[in-house]
Amino acid sequence: MSDARKSRSDTGKTPRMMSPAAHSFENAQDRIGVVAGAPRFATAELESVVAFLDELSLEIEGAIEPTAPNPYLNMSLYLLRSHAEGRVVTASSMVSAARVPYATATRKLAEMQKAGLIVQRPRSKTGKSFSLHPSDALIETWTHLADRIRRLAASKFAADASGSGSSDYYFGDSYQPGQSLIRPPRVLASPLKLAGGLRILVHGDPTFMVMDNLKRQFEQLVGTKISQRAFSIDRLRDEALRNAARPNSQYDLIAVDLPWVGEFVEKGVLRPLGSALDVERLDPSDFHTAGWRAAHWNGVPYGVPSQTTPELMFYRKDWFAEAGLEPPNTTDAVLRAAAALHDPARGRHGVAWNAARGTALGHTFMMTCADFGQPIVKLPAIAGGFDAGNLGRGDIEATIDTPRALEAAEYLMALLEFSPPDILSMSWYERMRPYAAGKVAMAYGYTLLAPYFELDPSSPAYENTGYLPHPAGPRGSPVAPVGGYVLGIPANLAEERIPDAAEALIAFTSPEAQKLYVQNGSRTVPRYSVGSDPEVRRLSPVFEAVEEMAWRDELQFWPRPPIPQISDIIQICGHEFHDMLRGLTTPRNALARAQARAEDALRQPIT
């Protein structure tokens, strides 16, 4: 796909069906070039080396007479580039790419297939037509070759230019023990056989939009058409619940916000993973612990982390340095820095955050309570925070009206003084716009929103942003509340579609696919292996920051516990505390009202 508009038309979506969130990010894509140019579908080294050798071989063949083209090389390069660009490769197109006589090319192609370098996959039900794809062996061979070619170039050309030889390459560039490149995604040995193609329900956020822009490439991988529908967060939940009421699911895979897992399991929306696939094929130990645990209910996994995106504090390193301020590690430090940097006369404001009525502010209140060491329901304390892994017991107790929650509410009131004038209507994307535009010193934001400024060289925040976990209150600890989505299989999916849906789920959440999303603009890494990939680490400092938070056990999902009633409690908090921010009620009254309404919600039967 060349851009979001083209992919939308190809999947049958219309502007009416797209969510405001999806539209919002599409506009940002147009502005900052998140998906400008052809999608990247390989390691950076492999991608650049294949392109270089393809052009070099043409130059050599055109410059030297007589010449003898190398059909193995030419066909390998053509196959790899087509794989990267999602183009269908047939035997006839491979023969043409060989640039040798037809009989010779046909013979050489057969030799490559016999050597296991090419995968042949049927394109029709009759099996009479085939598409050709690079095998795992060919991809692995070329991945290693790309590394050796770059090493040779660094050794020879760098030495000629500076006389320093290759020592800088080995000890300063890519020799990083314990880190290895994740290779490009591989094609499935057999194409998926899903009538009407693979159908996915997702949230309209940057990572899922990146997936949509790579639709053509993934269609080549799985061998079938992919249709993706995107909605805003509230409409996504509504559509998932409507879909669960249908006799047969309209979607093969659905995206589930982490707090919804308990509700969706209790309401029969999701199928247990173990009933559809061998969970060990997912390599569970590779997922960030918090993201993987959040996909469970009563110890059973119901989804696979597609995004693990903690909410962090973004701050302008250059502004802090100019003012002689240290990064804000506490809530008091946030308020001091906000006061020092807040200058409305110059169009500058101290801090931006989610304060819009309803879902947005509901999430903010819960995560702010966590900053002060207060979960919104009673949870047992453990090392690193609280245990939210055993919430199916049915005796959940609300803990909203507490002294620490009062501190959290008063902190939000204090933030108002240093926030933009339209703060009470700011939600997920709106808080990022002023930060990216250079109008805000700090912003609470999920890592998935970092492309707003990380991929826009014209943004004042570009390469000037630092990343911190949520600054802690007086009796709290730094915490990075884990957000994001798991992909799950609907409980009412037709039985004949389950095996292929499971194969697609494994492919879309693999390390190879996750790295591809990052290379094309995503800033979420559910897997340790992806976060430690050297090419991924070079793309953004946020990956190293998140990895460090993970090792310090700061990534936590208990701030938004996935109890079945969580959506109701989010709405309650989002309305009661919006009235508080508007000055219609006091923090104490807002806490009391939210507590009473939450207790009532917890008493209601789950239907």
Cα–Cα nearest to 447, from 357, 555, 562 = 555
Are the beta carbons of 377 and 393 closer than 8 angstroms?
A: no
Cα 126 to chain centroid distance, Å, stands at 38
CATH topology of domain 4-31+185-308+484-531: D-Maltodextrin-Binding Protein; domain 2 (3.40.190)
Task: Please indicate whether residue 126 or residue 142 has the higher confidence score (pLDDT).
Answer: 142
Give the model's pLDDT for residue 145: 75
Q: Which residues pair with 120 in a beta bridge?
A: 132
- At position 88, the amino acid (one-letter code) is V
Give the model's pLDDT for residue 172: 33
- Write the pLDDT tens digit of every residue in 75-103: 888 888 777 777 788 888 888 887 888 88
Q: Which residues pair with 481 in a beta bridge?
A: 556
567: tokens are 């959506």
| CA distances from residue 469 to 160, 321, 440, 446, 479 in whole angstroms, order as listed | 46, 19, 18, 11, 5
Give the model's pLDDT for residue 530: 93
Task: Examine the pLDDT at 11 and tell me if it is beyond 60.
Answer: no
SS3 call for 560:
coil
How many other C-beta atoms can be found within 10 angstroms of the C-beta atom of residue 397?
10
308: tokens are 């693990």
- Evaluate the omega torsion of the peptide bond into residue 380 and state whether it is cis, within 30 degrees of 0: no
CA distance 142 to 147: 9
pLDDT interval class at 168 (50, 70, 90): very low
Task: Please indicate whether residue 29 or residue 341 has the higher confidence score (pLDDT).
Answer: 341
Task: Please indicate whether residue 415 or residue 216 has the higher confidence score (pLDDT).
Answer: 415
Backbone angles phi, psi at 362, to 5 degrees: -60, -45
CATH 3.40.190.10 for domain 310-482+552-603: yes
| pLDDT average, residue stretch 1-30 | 37
Express as a percent the part of the chain with pLDDT over 90.
60
Handedness of CA 76, 77, 80, 85 (dihedral sign): negative
Q: What is the mean pLDDT of the chain?
A: 85
| pLDDT average, residue stretch 122-143 | 77
pLDDT interval class at 42 (50, 70, 90): low
Task: Examine the pLDDT at 567 and tell me if it is beyond 70.
Answer: yes
Task: Tell me whether domains 4-31+185-308+484-531 and 310-482+552-603 share a fold.
Answer: yes
The residue ranges of every structural domain in the chain are 4-31+185-308+484-531, 42-184, 310-482+552-603
pTM of the model: 0.76
CA distance 425 to 416: 12
Give the model's pLDDT for residue 87: 78
240: tokens are 């998932």
Are the beta carbons of 7 and 208 closer than 8 angstroms?
A: no
Task: Examine the pLDDT at 152 and tell me if it is beyond 90.
Answer: no
- Write the pLDDT tens digit of every residue in 224-249: 999 999 999 999 999 999 999 999 99
Give the model's pLDDT for residue 306: 93
| pLDDT average, residue stretch 3-8 | 35
CATH topology of domain 42-184: Arc Repressor Mutant, subunit A (1.10.10)
Give the model's pLDDT for residue 239: 97
Are the beta carbons of 592 and 401 closer than 8 angstroms?
A: yes
CA distance 476 to 519: 36
Give the model's pLDDT for residue 211: 85
- At position 586, the amino acid (one-letter code) is T
Give the model's pLDDT for residue 163: 44
Task: Examine the pLDDT at 104 and tell me if it is beyond 60.
Answer: yes
Task: Please indicate whether residue 34 or residue 62 has the higher confidence score (pLDDT).
Answer: 62
